[in-house]
Amino acid sequence: MFSNDTLLLVFTGIVAVSLLLQSLALVGIYRSIRSLSSRIEVVSLNLVKNVDAISVKVNQLLASIKGMVDGMHSLQENLISTSTIVQKRVAELDSFLAEITDVARLQVLRIQDVVVTASRRVEETIDVLHTSVLAPVTEVNAIVRGVKVGLDVLLRKRKSPSSSSPQDEEMFI
């Protein structure tokens, strides 16, 4: 039926068509890969831009954090020095208050001694006044009254018992 030449020609035609279709398919694949490549390139460029922007922001954030950390270090050093000063001042104040308390106690003891000594001397002075001044005055007063009564009796100017005042008698006793 068909000769070898015809078969060969048909077969060659089929192979040629299949090669043509395969070439068209490869061209289509090439175009789609190229399109995909350009899209990937655009996405890649956008990604690089975004990564660069994020990188800049992260660097700025790190710089500000570093500044804050440096500030925190100086703040920490200030707090340490301040707490050291406060601790020294509190220790000085404590020793000062202890010293003042000791001095105040000594002064209170001295004041107590002065008050006790003064009150004892006042009592001694009152006793001396009583024994040295008031007792002789009372004795002299009694002697003067006795002399007066004696003179009244001698000179007969004796008062009647009703006219004598009980106050005079009480004072004599």
- Higher-scoring residue by pLDDT: 171, 7: 7
Contact 172, 142 (CB under 8 A): yes
**Mean local confidence (pLDDT), 24-30:** 95
Whether the pLDDT of residue 169 is over 80: the answer is no
- Please tell me the distance from the alpha carbon of residue 17 to that of residue 145, in angstroms, as a whole number: 179
pLDDT at 158: 45
What does each C-alpha distance from 84 to 14, 70, 134 come to in angstroms?
Answer: 99, 21, 72
- Higher-scoring residue by pLDDT: 38, 166: 38
Chain segment 57-115, per-residue pLDDT in tens = 999 999 888 888 887 888 888 889 999 999 999 999 999 999 999 999 999 999 999 99
- Please tell me the distance from the alpha carbon of residue 71 to that of residue 77, in angstroms, as a whole number: 10
* pTM exceeds cut of 0.75: no
φ, ψ of residue 4 to 5 degrees: the values are: -65, -35
Contact 143, 120 (CB under 8 A): no
- 43 three-state secondary structure: helix
pLDDT at 68: 84
- Please tell me the distance from the alpha carbon of residue 43 to that of residue 144, in angstroms, as a whole number: 142
- Please tell me the distance from the alpha carbon of residue 58 to that of residue 52, in angstroms, as a whole number: 10
